[in-house]
A and B are shown apart, each in its own frame.
Chain A
Amino acid sequence: MKIFLSLLMLLSLSFAKDATIEVIKRVDSLPSLAVEDSSISYDDTFKMRFFKSLVADMNVISLFNVDRHYRETHFNDTSVVVENKDMKYVLRYKMFEDDNGALNVGIKLIKENEIVLTKNYKVSRQDIYMFISHAIAHDINEYMGESSVAWMKRKVIFSRIVSPGKSEIVIADYTLTYQHTIVNGGFNVFPKWANRSQNSFYYTALDGKKPTLKHVDIRTAVVKNVISSDGMMICSDVSDDGKTLLLTMAKNGQPDIYSYKVDTKRYTKETRYNGIDVNAQFMNKNKMVFISNRLGYPNVFSKRLGSTEVEQMIYYGKSNSACSAHGEYIVYKARESSNAFSKNTFNLHLISTKTDFIRRLTATGVNEFPRFSRDGDAIIFIKNYMAQSSIGIIRLKHNKNYLFPLKYGRVQSMDW
């Protein structure tokens, strides 16, 4: 009996750390938080815009039950607004424009009438206010001692189809509220960050004679050709050190995966199946997952770089055509209806290579482009449901999905 109990404990302990089954249901027990505005500059429209952004960000960190009522007060008032007196936390902020037109924001986090955190933020332009809002949420999360949400401050790069055969590449914040078009005109697809610091990226240009992979340095705006291939050329993933790329190329019309060394410009063919092999993602420095139709339908497989042995990773889903990996975890897109004549449902699922559990991460609509954050804490994706497209953030540890409506355009590909 003792052995049985200790085995049970061991099992539950080992599972407790697995994101595929660990679901923390603590919404009811989350502390309450209200947000108070003490801004002196700016009109009501902008004040409300900033308030909404901050409330959304405070929700995404999943640590508070956030009150959505907009209330104004003086920044230096010693007590909180009367309606907020029962709140465990109050986040008070003051926006003001300085002589140079820069947006300044000061914040106070008040816990039971005591100021526990003060910070000041500044950006040169009013229209990039959302980056301050993300930074505030990031810092409060850090103050609360939770695992990092540094991904909030990272940028998303995506390509958008503007008309058949025409696209643009856009850099945005993680909610896609701020959007800056960086490559305009032509047919340019599959953008991918080239390094950790997000100061350069790769993309595929389809306008030339052959699809060509290009590299753009954002700081200098220098564009370089990297490599071309007949038919198809995609940079699917970049290693953590930025030195190895996983490419899909199609010499003689046959899509296969290649690893490419940035320094030496040498490439190695990684897959040799006579069907479709695409979407390679690093699991670690020496191992990748990829999508292949070697069973007659698209599914997720893995292999070590340089070896020939291939392992099937997923045993659930009729058609699993996209994936993203982070260490032992794989998030993949599965078609849950197989129909050429009506709308299909595509949901995202999470598996761990160490357990047999599958966790469904979305429930409705067409969910695509799953991408892990660098630290594996969150997954970003696009949801299309009831004629509305949104960008979604899945907080794995908190079992919460947050959706931000997308303004316009169809996303072709996305990287975080």
Chain B
Amino acid sequence: MPLLDLGAAIAIGLAYFTIIYLTGLGGLFSERSGIVNIGLEGLMIVGTVMGAWGAIHWGPFVGLAVGALSGLVFSLVHAVATVTFRVDHIVSGVVINVVAFGIARFLSQLFFQSSTQSTSGVPNFDAIDIPLLSSLPAGLGRAFQDMSPITPIAFVLVVPVIFILTRTRFGLRLRSAGENPEATRTLGVRVAPLRYAGVALSGTLAGLAGAFLSIEVNALYQEGQTQGLGFIALAALILGNWSPTRLMIGALLFGFAQAVPLRLGDAPIIGALPDQFVRMIPYVVTIIAIAGFVGRVHPPAAAGKAYEGAGGT
């Protein structure tokens, strides 16, 4: 039943898409405001452990909220370091990742009496079937059955995100802070609060994605369960040229690359390719893209640079 396998692979791919897309959107807000955030992985890790804890005690909704909130709070460390103290963005991002690993161990010990995992069966939302799509023939409908309700929300999220970025005062100012902070300030708009907001949004979304992973996907917190998905989200963001729609395509691509080894290992052609090489695809594609061999990527002009504007920046 290869098509049934394909349906199941798509279902897993969509779950991974949700994680990569939410985290990538977070990175998008941060980098569009001018703050490079390679700490997405760490923010996500904090979301996994806090989210699982919240869900165990108060159910999945609170779990996701706790995960998002903890990501927000933790990301403020990055904001304080890079915006207020003007620490190098990469330095701070690395520190966020290193520290997150320790915090997760500490919290896991505190919450679950084990430094590496929670008990399984973290409560999650009732799965839903997508109308029409779930009745697709030949096993393909399987892809849209038993889906977490968060996944369709992630898909729809692109609309408000584009609206915010292109149609609201906040979005336009956020982007101007990332492209030309000096011009932003000349217009009487303070750069620092915008960048704080961008980083806080990245923390919220990465934390939410982490909580989604531990609550909705695995129903378990486990050390290392993010498997570098934060870095893959970064890759999708670069490949998506910092645009919400193109990021979506990148996230779909990389989400399916994650799912293929899990469900399509026996399919023809793919079966001949070792799992490990399939897992390399997102990274290889990103290197090729960033080296300029296909197309060009244009990061926000001022991303990664400390803004030294005088006075009330």
Do A and B come together as binding partners? no
